[in-house]
Amino acid sequence: MFLPHVRQCLESKCGRQKASVFSSVSATNGLKLKILYDNEALNGFRGAFGFSCLIEEKGILFDTGGDVDTLFFNMQKSRVDPCSDIRIIVLSHEHRDHTGGIQIINYCGKVDVFVPASFSDRFKGWLASHPNVRLHEVQEFGEVCEGVFTTGKLGQFIKEQSLIVKTGNGLIVITGCAHPGLENILGAASKLGDIYGGGWRLSQFQQTGSFKRNAFNSSMSLHSTEKRDF
């Protein structure tokens, strides 16, 4: 079973691996995920408790880590320009280690920000007060931009959204802390089709109700994953 606070990037080619700042994970069709904020960092980058990644070709920043200084430093080191490279920000849930760097919007141009509708009025009001921000309050499954979808807000106690990215080889699922449970998140993602990997498909994962080592061809564990070798 998955422990709480597990993040998986599931993609049919990138392989099961650990990741850290700065990792650039190649997916299909030229799609790349840049890890900009994580507990672990390569030499020359800053690590801190939190998570953020950039879906380069889509201009989507998913979560903002725990503070803007670390996030901005790693962006500069990885040659990411917030003004030109970030067009969309998606926040998974309202925990500091995922939203603490949201001041990055002050360095962005016009940006669409997607948050679960359950975010506090104070947080949403602060976002909406920025003239460069167009705020989207997410309730249900829907499209963020071409080929990228939100699961909608999931969970009973901690509301959270995850991202689903279509690729030529199947679906990539990017989560925050996976508080609603990875099985529920992948169940929502299955609306778009099967998540492929190894000899298993999502339908078999749902039947067993647990994660098996070879259930997916690849996964990437990050941030507060208690054990990164599956």
State in words which class domain 17-221 has: alpha beta
Rounded distance between C-alpha atoms, residue 187 and residue 151, angstroms: 9
The DSSP output letter for 172 is E
**Residue 229: per-residue pLDDT:** 45
**Residue 23: per-residue pLDDT:** 60
Rounded distance between C-alpha atoms, residue 184 and residue 176, angstroms: 13
CB 173 within 8 A of CB 161: no
At 172, give phi and psi (nearest 5°). Answer: -105, 135
**Residue type at 20 in one-letter notation:** S
CB 124 within 8 A of CB 102: no
What does the pLDDT look like over 103-157, one tens digit per residue? 999 999 999 999 999 999 999 999 999 999 999 999 999 999 999 999 999 999 9
Tell me which H or E stretch contains 165: strand 163-167
Domain ranges of the chain: 17-221
Which parts of the chain sit beneath pLDDT 70?
1-30, 196-230
**Residue 210: per-residue pLDDT:** 46
**Residue 182: per-residue pLDDT:** 87
**Residue 136: per-residue pLDDT:** 98
**Residue 22: per-residue pLDDT:** 61
pTM (2 decimals)? 0.82
Rounded distance between C-alpha atoms, residue 112 and residue 99, angstroms: 15
**Which residues make Cβ contacts (< 8 Å) with residue 11, sequence separation at least 6?**
25, 27, 28, 167, 169, 170, 172, 218
Rounded distance between C-alpha atoms, residue 22 and residue 69, angstroms: 15
Three-state secondary structure call for residue 193: coil
Q: Where are the beta strands (DSSP E) in 41-167?
A: 52-55, 60-62, 88-90, 111-116, 133-138, 142-145, 148-150, 163-167
Nearest one of 75, 29, 62, 88 to 162, comparing CA atoms: 62
**Residue 3: per-residue pLDDT:** 28
Rounded distance between C-alpha atoms, residue 144 and residue 164, angstroms: 10
